[in-house]
Amino acid sequence: MFDLDPFIIRALAAGTGIALIAGPLGCFVVWRRMAYFGDSLAHSALLGIALGLLTGISSNLGTILVCSGFALILLWLQHTRILATDTLLGILAHAALSIGMVALSFAGNQRFDLHSYLFGDILTVRPEDLYWIYGGGVIVIALLLKNWLSLALMTIHEDLAKAEGVRTFWVNLMLMLLMTIVVAVSIRIVGILLITSLLIIPAATARQWVRGPEAMAVLAALLGLCAVFGGIFGSAYLDTPTGPSIVTSATLMFALLFPVSHLIKRTRMRSAL
Amino acid sequence: MNSLISAKQVSVFRDSQQILKEISLEIGERDFITIIGPNGAGKSMLLKCLMGFFSPDQGHVSARKGLKIGYVPQRLVADPTIPITAGRFLTLRRKVGKAALAAVVEETEISSFLDKPLAVLSGGELQRILLARALLNEPDLLVLDEPAQNLDITGQLGFYKLLDRVYRERELSVLMVSHDLHLVMSSTKNVVCLSQEICCHGEPRHVTKDPEFISLFGPDMAELMASYQHHHHQDHAHDHKHIHGRDHDHSETGDPAHV
């Protein structure tokens, strides 16, 4: 056994937590086509961080507040049905990003490492970050499990779910708010620019290998875990930035597994003929 | 007071346009109501309003206490990104006993493709799965929104035949939006002709002679419908005669007068 530095252990613990939450939630991001929403949410997180720095509250809390506000404004604007959702997201995301940068300039005299917020800085994870990750993670997983079947049915057919008594508006809102939690707690790990990839790459990689939605969620979590471990050890060994290394290792898994599953499917189809 | 759903003077507005205008409708036990109307007549909106998806802007909708509705949507676009088999979808978010499930599977003839992924099923197979899912709830009322819209003609015939059998054997009520009036003529008890408001309603053969129906769908459509009914009744008469004749005398079956 080799000895691990405490900061590596904390990084692994943080990454494990994020991977386990991001896998199941990422499935819904893939199924419900929320990738752009996730990206926009992450962009608006910068405003949350600025809010945290300026008011002195925790940047996690600031991010959750701003991102939740973002989600509610988006829902209200969607309800007016005047502009398409991607237009609205584009406006809101970049507005929040710009306002966040402007706000940060007011806090200019503080030492502020923009780079670590954009690409993550998992090696500086503090114990309190772990509380946020695991506390948030328990909430996310508990609510996902409780609403899993309703969410799955809604994803297949929204009106059918409505007819069968699912309160689709509230379940949808819940899903958005769960994403804000994940965004808030993952900024330390992979950064604003890379959060969505942690949600969608493991889920997308898992898709070809499973026959049921639950299996996809579990496999996505496991693949995410592999990506996190591969990324952290890889970056320690090669001295590369950790956040991008995690995403690179996730991408490598996708690039390797996707063609393999495709080939297997084709040979199976041929032998069935 | 025995109606399953009762709508009184229901109006719905969207974006300052009136979509539904003072609709009053009663759905009774063992009813089979087919709603027809041109595109944008508010048919789907009316179904959703009757099912309680939203409250009407004016008027009110009341449903019998404990009413169980089975909803069959227009189409299911099975997205390949979500991995799920037809059988799993059938019982997703449903608690059903094995016996009840087997009965519905047999009734709707879906056993051969339950193990397949939902995304590879044909339109006809998907509609049968949706109907089966609605029936698992043991509904008092089936609500169908253009259920055979995206099927080819064989699929349409098969689906409506199945629906007719379900309606007769289960003794439930049916509320359906459909353009295929000629295919449901024999099952339908009542036709409601909708174009923002109810233009005309009644038994199918009366409705197709109604001037409102003719002005809405044109004289050609009315004539076509009339001819379908004509055929339908003639076919029955013909069948009876035929069977009767066969029983009577075998040599008569070749007689051109009977054909």
pLDDT digits (tens, 9 = 90+) for A129-140: 999 999 999 999
Interface test with A, best of B89, B93, B145 (most A CBs within 10 A): B93
For residues A65 and A270, the model is more confident at: A65
Q: pLDDT-derived band of residue B78, with 50, 70 and 90 as boundaries?
A: confident
Considering only the beta carbons, identify the residue of B51, B85, B88 that sits closest to A163.
Answer: B51
pTM for the whole thing?
A: 0.87
The encoded tokens of residue B175 equal 């509320």
CATH number at residue A116: 1.10.3470.10
Residue with tokens 């299911």: B76
Contacts A–B by Cβ distance under 8 A: 63
Instruction: Tell me how far apart the alpha carbons of residues A245 and A137 are, in angstroms, rounded to a whole number.
Output: 23
Could you tell me the maximum CA-CA distance found in chain B, to the nearest angstrom?
A: 70
Q: Determine, for residues B92 and A216 on separate chains, whether the beta-carbon distance falls below 8 Å.
A: no
Q: Determine, for residues A215 and B79 on separate chains, whether the beta-carbon distance falls below 8 Å.
A: no
Q: Determine, for residues A159 and B71 on separate chains, whether the beta-carbon distance falls below 8 Å.
A: yes
Instruction: Tell me how far apart the alpha carbons of residues A206 and A200 are, in angstroms, rounded to a whole number.
Output: 10
**pLDDT on residue B85:** 95
Q: Which residues of B touch A269 (CB under 8 A)?
A: none
Closest approach of A152 to chain B, Cα-based (Å): 8
pLDDT in tens, B150-201: 889 899 999 999 999 999 999 999 999 988 878 877 788 898 989 889 988 8
Work out the number of other CB atoms within 10 angstroms of the CB of residue A87: 11
- Domain assignment of residue A226, yes or no: no
Prediction ipTM score: 0.87
Q: Determine, for residues A163 and B69 on separate chains, whether the beta-carbon distance falls below 8 Å.
A: yes
Has residue A94 got a pLDDT over 80?
Answer: yes
- Give the pLDDT mean for B27-43: 91
Number of domains comprising chain A:
1
Burial class (CB in 10 A: 0-12, 13-18, 19+), A36: middle
Distance of CA B101 to the CA centre of its chain: 22
Has residue A270 got a pLDDT over 60?
Answer: yes
Q: Which residues of B touch A162 (CB under 8 A)?
A: 53
* B130, closest residue in chain A (CA to CA): A160
Q: Determine, for residues B93 and A163 on separate chains, whether the beta-carbon distance falls below 8 Å.
A: no
- What residues of chain B have any CB closer than 8 angstroms to a CB in chain A? 15, 48, 51, 53, 69, 71, 73, 76, 78-79, 81-85, 88-89, 92-93, 117-118, 130, 133, 137, 143
Mean pLDDT taken over chain B: 84
- Domain assignment of residue A156, yes or no: yes
pLDDT in tens, A209-258: 999 999 999 999 999 999 999 999 999 999 999 999 999 999 999 999 99
B14: which strand partners? B17
Which of A121-135, B43-57, B202-216 shows the lowest per-residue confidence on average (mean pLDDT)?
Answer: B202-216
Closest approach of B224 to chain A, Cα-based (Å): 34
Considering only the beta carbons, identify the residue of A150, A210, A212 that sits closest to B93.
Answer: A150
- Domain assignment of residue A36, yes or no: yes
Q: pLDDT-derived band of residue A110, with 50, 70 and 90 as boundaries?
A: low
Which has the closest alpha carbon to B52: A184, A101, A165? A165
Is residue A39 classed as helix, strand or coil in its secondary structure? Answer: helix
Instruction: Tell me how far apart the alpha carbons of residues B127 and B147 are, in angstroms, rounded to a whole number.
Output: 7
Q: pLDDT-derived band of residue B222, with 50, 70 and 90 as boundaries?
A: confident
Q: Which residues of A touch B92 (CB under 8 A)?
A: 149, 152-153, 156
Cα pseudo-dihedral A155, A158, A163, A164, rounded to 10: 10
Interface test with B, best of A160, A167, A207 (most B CBs within 10 A): A160
- Domain assignment of residue A33, yes or no: yes
Q: Determine, for residues B89 and A156 on separate chains, whether the beta-carbon distance falls below 8 Å.
A: yes
- Give the pLDDT mean for A68-88: 91
**pLDDT on residue A197:** 95
Range(s) of the domain holding residue A186: 6-195
Q: Which residues of B touch A169 (CB under 8 A)?
A: none
The encoded tokens of residue A71 equal 């989600």
Has residue B234 got a pLDDT over 60?
Answer: no
**pLDDT on residue A266:** 87
DSSP annotation of B119? G
Q: Determine, for residues B85 and A212 on separate chains, whether the beta-carbon distance falls below 8 Å.
A: yes
Q: Which residues of A touch B88 (CB under 8 A)?
A: 212
* A148, closest residue in chain B (CA to CA): B93
DSSP annotation of B59? E
